[in-house]
Each structure stands twice: as structure tokens, then as C-alpha cells.
Copies of this chain bind each other. A is one copy, B any other.
């Protein structure tokens, strides 16, 4: 992995000069950030959904990067814009993932938890394998540039990480079904962890090339990481809940101390997991969920308002910055455009792989689910369509340039870059149209999402009415499902909430006030 240089590489430059270059670099970045925010706001106000905020940021980055490339920019300034994977993984990604967990509505997420895990773990595994095998076969048959099999699997893994930012912001804007929202959201957050884990495992397999690494081991290793990270995240979350319950910091003049500590916990969780060799992403996601549900209610009212707004602000800045940064880097990096065939076929292959992921997993899930909760074909199509690739794929591809031999990494990086730009601009721009065409838009818009959840169960039901003629089995399954979700709710209400919070556990509904939108979580 390349070193993360914050200062330019010339060691003889005078400090004043270097600091000046850094100043100009950061200045440009701030100006692009401001431009993105303002442009995004103007576009949203005019309900122009063909260019969502993320696409606008990416375009701004691309344009400014292109200009900087044409003009004779000083190298010292230019070096400030290189995309550093470590900076991405250590500083930009954690706030975004934490905010995902923190703004999560636990109800639809947990009621779809099985489906989400199936899509994210099994589905992503299937998708990355299919992509890898197809790329390998196409290489063997001289259709495209030929890569070794393990490298194809690495490409398959990194390109299977989907990005939630663009699609979800449009979902929120238009107001879609909460279940669909929970599926897309949950899948894209968890599959990032799966993709990183798969990529790293493949990378290890490649460097050791030992034959005893089989698929089973990969799966076990992933599950180990996943469960370990989840436990670490939940543990940190519960620790913070107890701290804020007993430290007595919720008096007026200690608000700053309270907020400082609250803000440090998520990052602690991320770094704890990374330090233990686990997945920081999974850990911080669960810390976010637990901290929102338990620690949050132990804060004073002012601190509650503050931390909601704080995490929202930080994650918005990080999100926008990532897209600008990515656009700029795409315009500046060396690309090997000779592999246009590779790009074309990989786009085809990831479409096929995503179809295999979504439709096979949905089939499995629908086999288990009671008929009124089956995932409708419309939702499956929307889920398939929502699989655009973003910063995670980009960061892993950039890493592969350092990991793989000359040429191979470049090919993968160029293909990933092209896929990211195309999917963000095309899929991002057409999500609104797609949602309207599939008629999954409109409900849940006026009413708060928490309420429309029950309404949606009824909404989906008619589509599959014909299948559930066995009224008796239907009712049994229904009550079974209700009982299983009720048991967690009861555990939560009777034991967890009283133990971890200073409330009596009867004011469950107050969460909804803050998490109703995620984009406007600060009231």
C-alpha cells in the first residue's frame, strides 16, 4: 500500500512553500465542497432528480480534475488530491457508516434482518464468484484481457460492493416503501463488509497460493470476522450506554464533556475492530444502532439534539467529499483505456451477477417468508437496479493497483473507474424514473416511515393474494412471525432498556421522532 502523504513529496521545498501548496489544495477542495452543497440544494429544490447530489459532486470533481490535468498545476498541489485508500478507510468511511446505523429505524431493519443478511452475505458471495468466473472464462476464450483466476475473483469481490448513498437519498426524497428501503440500505452497508473481507481473503490466497485455502475456510473466516465485529460493536455501544447512565454528565454545564465522549465512542469501536483485525465497518454500524437505541436516551436533551446534528453534518461532509475526491482522482490518474473490451464485458457480467444475487436470494427468502411478506417482483427489480458501485469499489480497486503485478491492477482499476462513473451517473440519474416506472414510489412519503410500515404489509399483500389460499397456515405463520419479533421487543423493553438507559422503557416511540427521515434527523 502506498504511503499516505499529506505533504508533497519534495523534501527540499521550504516549509512555507509546502504549507502554501497545502493551503491551495485544501482551499480548492473546500470550494468544490461548497459548490457541491449549493448545486445539490438548487437541484433538489427544483426537483431535478436526473442529477442527484452524489452525481453532481462526482461531475464537479471530474471537471476540476480535468482542468487541473490540462493546465500546468504544480505537483505539490496536485498531490493533495490523490485518493489515499487509508485516508478513505480511516477518516471518511467511519462517519458515514456510523450515521447509517445511527439514523436507522430498528423496526424495518430487524424485521427484514434475515433477508438483508441473505442478500449481503450469500448474495454478495454468489455475485462475486459469478463475476470472477465469467471474467476468467472470457479471458481464457480471448474475449478480453486475461487475468489469473485468483485475480479475477479479487475483481469480482471488489466490484460487488454496492454504494447506498445516491440511491438512498433519492428513495428518501421520493418516499418509497420502508421494506424496500431497509433491504437496499441494509444490503449495501453489509455487503461492503463482505466485499472487503472477500477481497482481503483472496489477496491472502494469492500471495500465499497455498492450496489448503478452500471456499469453506473463506466462509468460516468471514463469519468469524462478522460475528466478532458485531460483538465488538455491540459491546462498545453497551459500554457507552452504561457510562452515560451512571456518570451523571447530563447536567447543564457538562454538555461539552458529554458530547466529546459520545463522539469518541463510535471511532473507538471502529478502531478497536480494526486493531483486532476485524471489520471496523460492521463494528461501527452496530455501535451506531446500539448507541442510538440505548446511550442516546441517557444524554441530556440538548446533547441529544447536538449529537444527531453532529453526526449528520460529519457524514454529509464525508459523503460529498468522497465523490468529489473520487471524481478528481479519476480525472488525474493514469488509465489504460486500451482495455475497452474488458470494461464492456465486466459491465455485462456484473449485471448478470447482480441478477443472480437478487433473484436467487429473493427466491430463497420468499420460500421461507409468509406470503403477505414476500418480496414482490417489483421490489426485486428495484433492488437489482439499485446496485450502483461507488467509493468502496473504487478504494479497493486503487488498492489492487498496489497489490497486483503491473498491468493487471491497472486494468482492474480502469474498469472499476469506468463502472463507478457509469453506474453513479446513469443509475443514479435514472433511479427516480425507475421507481416511478415500477410504481413503488409515493407511499410512506407523507406519513412518517414508522407508521407506514404497517400500512405496507397491507400494501404488498394484494399482489400475492392468490397464493395464500391456505388461510389457516397463513395465520399460523403470521402469529409465529409476530411472536418472534415480539420476543426481541419484549426482551428489549423488559431487560435491555431498563438496564442500559435511565428511562423506564415505556417511551419507545420517542426514537421515531429523531429517525423518521435520516436526512432531517435534527429537529
A89 to chain B: closest residue by CB: B19
Contacts of A280 in B (CB 8 A): 23
A145 at the interface (CB under 8 A from B): no
Decide if A30 touches B267 in the complex (CB within 8 Å).
Answer: yes
A498 at the interface (CB under 8 A from B): no
Query: When the two chains form the complex, which single residue of B6, B306, B316, B523 contacts A309, counting CB atoms closer than 8 Å?
Result: B306
Decide if A268 touches B30 in the complex (CB within 8 Å).
Answer: yes
Contacts of A7 in B (CB 8 A): 1-4, 86
A26 at the interface (CB under 8 A from B): yes
What's the minimum C-beta distance from A40 to chain B, rounded to whole angstroms? 8
Decide if A522 touches B306 in the complex (CB within 8 Å).
Answer: yes
| Chain A facing B: main interface SS | helix
Given contacts A20-B275, A253-B520, A260-B317, contact A310 B310 (CB under 8 A): yes
**Count, chain A residues at interface, CB 8 A:** 75
Q: A23-B280, A302-B522 are in contact. List 18 more A-B contacts (CB 8 A).
A: A1-B7, A1-B11, A1-B14, A1-B15, A1-B18, A7-B86, A19-B89, A20-B277, A22-B274, A23-B273, A23-B276, A27-B274, A30-B268, A37-B260, A41-B257, A256-B316, A263-B313, A302-B309
Shortest beta-carbon contacts, A-B, top 3:
A23-B274, A23-B275, A4-B6
What's the minimum C-beta distance from A486 to chain B, rounded to whole angstroms? 35
A87 at the interface (CB under 8 A from B): yes
A445 at the interface (CB under 8 A from B): no
Given contacts A30-B267, A90-B22, A256-B309, contact A16 B316 (CB under 8 A): no
Given contacts A4-B7, A27-B275, contact A41 B254 (CB under 8 A): yes
A470 at the interface (CB under 8 A from B): no
Contacts of A523 in B (CB 8 A): 302
Docked pose: A313 CA to B90 CA in angstroms: 21
A513 at the interface (CB under 8 A from B): no
- CB-contacts of A187-209 with B (<8 A): 200, 203-204, 207
